[in-house]
Chain A
């Protein structure tokens, strides 16, 4: 009970709802990993079978179990979101940190580069790169990480600049502490909390963009994913028939819920970190 109350104090009601949603999705994903090999892309029923015993959500045009696709898709989406978020956060921290504490020319070059990257439309870049470089899971993760780093890098650079001007960091520098000490003992305390919203928001974007890519038919055809399921919905015109209820609704709702859960956590953490917002909301 006290743990719950502490979590509530930390995240607030919306953040707690977000955490609950995300926990549920992670549970489904874990269940998906335990399913036997080939779950979701082996033919198990008659094509276009409606929901019934053994097929809770029916089957698609090739007779594949839609429920299994949903469950396996959770793992695909979450692991992609997680990996992209890790990679992007690392790139953003390194680049943003270099722009924050590096020499002036380096900072200026990086910032101009970020400005340019920000004008390029991310999703279009992602589609183009995926179309040419292939759709394997690892390639998609790499492309997303290379496309998504500029915005978080700019946020982290500002954070590093603020942190570096803080009194206790300056005192530590003046006592002859080496850079790694400054970073580990002082910098991590100031910048660490900011990585959470960066991580969460990158995961959100990665999941949405990847679903969009799969929906456009550029997903990995060998693993079931929510976006791919909806690609077949689109190409079969499913939403003109009754089947949209069990075929189109669940995967879309799953994407929305996952992203919503992450968004709620991100907003809760951000509100804790921005005193002006916190004051405005509580007073």
Chain B
């Protein structure tokens, strides 16, 4: 994952916890509103006009008169723009995302089948990426002068530079084609029966791909955050007072160093969710990402929009959950004091 951020602990002003929460909620609402607006506006900015929304000329020709009427009614072309927008909002909030052109089923139904797989894939990846990135980052900072530290640093930079889809292909070549250890495609066995073993087996390579390409940035951030704290005055003074190194790291350095890492984990969520589009395509995993790819190939715009919307909502909700857990880590935020 490649992000730019000064790797120093972020500074926030003093705000009460209540005001802070309210501010964040408003922010999430704004994000959702922007996502909805984009979804509404982009098809109307489509070169060749909004009619292309209904797919290729061939797809258009296949539509029955009833379907045409339904679409025209749904989008209300011809009405003023703001009325179209309200119609659109109304449809979204009544969970009506229109019809998928390629599957000829309601978009909501198609997305509903795919969502659990993506949640499983992304959720597992987030947990493993966070644990791996933070743990290795701490080791990398503490062992910075030794071979282990430099090796980790080099590895993190290289993995950070790998394109996800290519790493996925290489893993398939190595573990599925050459070694025949793990399955190549799908999420469940060939017979379609859902067993825990099969699901776990099919999860290994996609999760590995996401984790390996995602942990690097978290590693670099954790490492530099801890290195900065280790040269800070409180740590130097603890050393001067005779506190042994291990105790300094455990008590005085780790917590202040890891607090800002929380923000980075929230950024990872967005990265991993987007990564699911790529990884699910490579591994033919039946989630939202794979659906997005198929929708792009078939120029199935309603499905594409729906998948985008659901992925965005997923990211926002996961961010909100991570945000709400932050006060559990930082007593100062919990007390409503400085944060």
Contacts and interface: CB of A to CB of B under 8 A. Distances in A.
Given A127-B292, A252-B170, A260 B30 contact: no
B35 A120 contact: yes
A270 B8 CA distance: 11
Interface in B30-61: 30-31, 34-35, 38-39, 42-43, 45-47
A134 interface: yes
A234 B282 contact: yes
B73 interface: no
State the main secondary structure of chain B at its contact with A. helix
A202 B304 CA distance: 27
B44 to A, nearest CB: 9
B273 A239 contact: no
A255 B165 CA distance: 11
A115 interface: yes
B177 A239 contact: yes
Contacts of B43: 132
Interface residues of B, number: 66
B247 interface: no
A40 interface: no
A277 B161 contact: no
A121 B311 contact: yes
A112 B278 contact: no
A272 interface: no
A177 interface: no
Interface residues of A, number: 61
Given A127-B292, A128-B38, A208 B4 contact: no
Interface stretch (A25-33, A48-56, A62-70, A214-222): A214-222
Contact of A280 (B27, B160, B227): B227
A121 B2 CA distance: 13
A264 interface: yes
Contacts of A259: 2, 161, 163
Contact of A132 (B46, B267, B315, B316): B46
B322 to A, nearest CB: 11
Given A263-B160, A264-B157, A277 B277 contact: no
A119 B31 contact: yes
Contact of A255 (B2, B166, B172): B166
A204 B161 contact: yes
A204 B2 contact: yes
B208 interface: no
Given A128-B304, A233-B169, A116 B30 contact: yes
Contacts of A224: none
B277 A123 contact: yes
A151 B38 CA distance: 20
Interface in A234-255: 234, 239-240, 244, 248, 251-252, 255
A239 B172 contact: yes
Interface string B294-334: 00110001001100100110011001000000000000000
B273 A133 contact: no
A197 B38 CA distance: 31
B219 interface: no
Contacts of B274: 121-124
Nearest to A203: B2
Contact of B277 (A124, A154, A205): A124
B312 A120 contact: yes
Nearest to B4: A201
A159 to B, nearest CB: 8
Nearest to A124: B274
B262 to A, nearest CB: 14
Nearest to A197: B4
A86 interface: no
B312 A256 contact: no
Contacts of A123: 271, 274-275, 277
Nearest to A279: B231
Contacts of B164: 212
Interface string B194-225: 00000000000000000000000000100010
24 contacts: A116-B30, A120-B270, A124-B308, A127-B296, A128-B42, A132-B45, A134-B47, A158-B6, A208-B163, A212-B164, A212-B165, A216-B296, A217-B296, A217-B297, A234-B165, A239-B169, A239-B173, A248-B166, A248-B169, A248-B173, A255-B163, A256-B161, A263-B157, A263-B161
Given A115-B27, A116-B27, 6 more contacts: A121-B312, A128-B38, A128-B305, A256-B166, A263-B2, A276-B231
Interface of A: 112, 115-116, 118-125, 127-129, 131-134, 151-152, 154-155, 158, 197-198, 201-202, 204-205, 208, 211-212, 215-218, 227, 230, 233-234, 239-240, 244, 248, 251-252, 255-257, 259-260, 263-264, 267, 270, 274, 276-277, 279-281
Shortest 9 CB-CB contacts between residues of A and residues of B: A252-B166, A123-B274, A121-B270, A259-B161, A132-B42, A260-B161, A280-B227, A201-B4, A276-B228
